[in-house]
Structure formats: structure tokens, C-alpha cells
Chain A
Amino acid sequence: MLRRLYPHPFLTLLLIVSWMLLVNQAKLGSLLMAVILGTVIPLLTAPYWPNRPALRNMPALAGYLAVVIYDIVKSNFIVARIVLFMPNSQLRPAWVSIPLDLRTPEAITVLAGTITMTPGTVTSDMSEDGRTLLVHCLHAPDPDGVRDEIKTRYEARLKRIFE
């Protein structure tokens, strides 16, 4: 019963939190509106999203967020240094193909978004069967190293969270 009313509990939670942030005030009326939206929107969109993504490991998710934020800050400085001081002739842009162990669409989406948001790499495409990501690197003298780092640093963690 509860499962049918709330097909995606995390989506409901996310909608309630977003609505509360949007109105930016802790009033009972806003909370009521948030709960209504959090109930109706998942129910209406459930037919387009039949499977419930499994989030198995919440502490691992928090750890993943910390790693990603640290990497974003660190690589911002690396890319700034490349942009400011490295002549174009020394720049080694490269395409890297990343074979995926992840199978859930949600996990692959998070991985692709993470790769783009950490400066220096942009997810450009995916193979037609969804098992390989095409990533462009701004400066990668060692493309295999980039692939291995993405696999061990992000994908292994995501696998623990989603699969």
C-alpha cells in the first residue's frame, strides 16, 4: 500500500526538500504543499520510470560526495594552471574509452555527470549498447591512467552504492 502510494521514496524526499528550499521559509503551509507535490509528481511520472533505483549504501553516498567535491576543487586549480601557463603546442588532448562495469542507468548517469563536473574531462558519448563511455580529456599525456583513475576512484564507489 505504502509502496504503491510512494513508488519512489527518494524522489518524494528530494521533491519535498527542493520545494522547502525554493520557498525558503519553514512554515507549515509550505510543508503541506511540499508533501502534496512529493506525493503527486512521483505517482504521475511512475509509468515512465518503472524500476526503483536501489540506493543500498547511504554512508558510501556521503563519502562519494566528499570525494567528488574534493576532486572538483583540486582539478579546478590544475585546469586553471593549464589554461594560464601551458602553450597550446604542449597540450595533449585525448579521447578515452571507458568500459563500464555499472549496469543501472541511474549509476551510469551519475558517473557521466561526475566525469563532466570534475574539470579536465567531459563525457561525450556512450556506445550504442550502453557499456562504454567516450570521455574527452583536456590534457592527458597518459590516457590509460585517466581511465584507470575514473574506474577505481568513481566507478568502484558507485557500484557499492547502486548495485
Chain B
Amino acid sequence: MEFVAEIVISALLVMAGLFGLVGSFGLLRLPDTMTRLHAPTKATTLGVGGVLVASMIYFWVFNGLVSWQELLITMFLLLTAPITANFIAKSYLHLNRGTEKLPAAQDCREWATYAEAERAVEPVMTGAPGQDGPNA
């Protein structure tokens, strides 16, 4: 049992390390900011996920206690990674205003990053479903 667990844990750690390495390598070799942004979001999913699963199995088999804190780490990572990526993308859009060719949004609206403050449009999203905007 312990031998099998050791093999599984090692395999998970090696796989996680490889994905972390590929993520960092991608950061080096991809051509520009937006493509490079894809690399770190990868390393956090399978790379960190593999280490966390390995840690759970280790504490469960060798210390006899189930450790759930790894789930919490996963949850916080899943919450924070998209927000960081979003903000990096937004500052990239600001820095490259006019040079980057963006597709048009629905109803000819501006993208929020480029919208002028004085003619900001009230969002049509509603919290209460069922009483939506005109298109619903």
C-alpha cells in the first residue's frame, strides 16, 4: 500500500513539475504579452493541482489524517488567477490602444477598458432573473 502510494505521489510530483517547467518555458519563448499571458494560467492548473493532490495522498497514507486544506488552496487559486490575468490583459489593452485590432462588441458598444467615463452606459445585467432587458 505504502509502496503504491509512494509511486503515485512521485508520479504526480514529476508531472506537476513538468507542467510548471512547460509553463515557464512558454513564458520565455512565446512572442508577445498576450500569448505569454497564457503560460502562467496553465502552470497554476495542472502544475499546482498535481502538487496539491500529491500532498493530500501523502498526509492520508503516511500520517493517517485527511488534510482538506489543499482544497482551500485550489479554491483560492481558481478565484485569483483569472482576476490577475484579466488585469494584465486590461493594462495591455490600455498600452496598445489603437494598434491592436479588436473584434467588435455586440450592438457596436465600446470595450469597457476603452469606454469614456462621461458616456458610460448602464449595464443591462440584472440580479433578478425574469425581469431582464428588452432583448430577453
Contact = CB atoms under 8 A, between A and B. Distances in A.
Interface of A: 18, 20-22, 24, 50-54, 72-73, 76, 79-80, 83-84, 88, 91, 93, 95-97, 99-100, 103-105, 108, 112-113, 116-117, 119-120, 122-132, 134, 136, 138, 162-163
B123 to A, nearest CB: 4
B46 A53 contact: no
A40 to B, nearest CB: 20
Nearest to A23: B69
B126 A104 contact: yes
B127 A83 contact: no
A128 B118 CA distance: 12
A103 B82 contact: no
Contact of A53 (B113, B124, B127): B127
B31 interface: yes
Given A122-B41, A124-B86, A22 B69 contact: yes
A123 B82 contact: yes
B109 A136 contact: no
B81 interface: yes
Nearest to B128: A51
Given A91-B31, A95-B102, A50 B107 contact: no
Contact of A91 (B35, B122, B126): B35
Interface in B31-58: 31-32, 34-35, 37-39, 41-42, 45-46
Given A112-B86, A113-B78, A126 B29 contact: no
A112 B106 contact: no
Nearest to B75: A18
Contact of B111 (A50, A119, A126): A126
Interface string B121-135: 111111111001100
A124 B90 contact: yes
B31 to A, nearest CB: 5
Contact of A127 (B29, B72, B110): B110
